[in-house]
Structure 1
């Protein structure tokens, strides 16, 4: 939102330089979706603001450059932190998949152990083998999807860290 405001203000400043004035009027309109900034007042409740600037040429002061660098560093830090959180969340999802698969395998093994004492052990053995195959297939499919998502996130993170 701040970057949008900065862009809009720069637009207003540069467009008003043709008028040779040292101030720009802009309007803040509050809507259901949020705030909108415009050169023209909106039909609802618009608040008028005036931005005064120095017409010292196109030179950017060192203080302004430092401010932009600080904003860029803050945004970069936020993006890195959010990507790291997302990667951590995906790794947690993989751990939960492992637990779910292990639990299902233990249940099938218990079923097999219980059936080995009865007459239908071959039938139950085949059923357990099919179930284990289905459990593993589902696990590997879900893990493959999550691993791809983690790889994409790590590539994005690498772009910001390097």
Structure 2
């Protein structure tokens, strides 16, 4: 038990010493009873091996992980903004198609009516509805156009 605890103490001392930054010489003393590491030379009965350590610590290449993470985060944000920009452009296209479809329906409605008096009444109604359609279209387009401009500014900042 005493030998084991002594060996553990010497081993832990040696490990702690290895992690120090100064150059140090250690001795490995081998006897019939076992191996002991020491900073002091061995007695005459033990075989002595000299272990030299240096303060040089080797490390891998210097990598700025924060910079890499920031770059990945920037790319992810940029791709999200570009996807949102594509989505808003698609919404504009859909709004334009819906407006054209509504205008076409109103024109078809006018063409089906034969009586002049009904035609004049329907023309006024169609004109009112087209104004409403155009007003809603312009409002929706302006909202989406503002979003697109904001997104383009953000994308320009990240590029």
TM-score by length of structure 2 reads 0.59
- 1:6-62: CA deviation from partner (whole Å, max 9, x where unpaired): xxxxxxxxxxxxxxxxxxxxxxxxxxxxxxxxxxxxxxxxxxxxxxxxxxxxxxx96
1:111 positional shift: 0.5
Structure 2 residue 139 is the aligned partner of structure 1 residue 144: no
Distance 1:62 1:108 in 2: 71
Alignment of 1:16-95 (within 5 A): 63-65=62-64, 67-95=65-93
Q: What RMSD in Å do the two structures reach over aligned CA positions?
A: 1.4
Distance 1:140 1:77 in 2: 34
Q: Which of the pair has more CA radius of gyration? A: 2
Distance 2:115 2:97 in 1: 29
Aligned to 2:102: 104
1:63 positional shift: 2.5
Aligned to 2:158: 160
Structure 2 residue 101 is the aligned partner of structure 1 residue 118: no
Gaps of 5+ in 1: 1-60
Distance 2:111 2:62 in 1: 75
Distance 2:61 2:69 in 1: 14
Corresponding residue pairs, total: 99
Distance 2:70 2:131 in 1: 50
Distance 2:83 2:149 in 1: 14
1:64 positional shift: 4.2
1:114 positional shift: 1.0
Distance 2:130 2:112 in 1: 16
TM-score by length of structure 1 reads 0.58
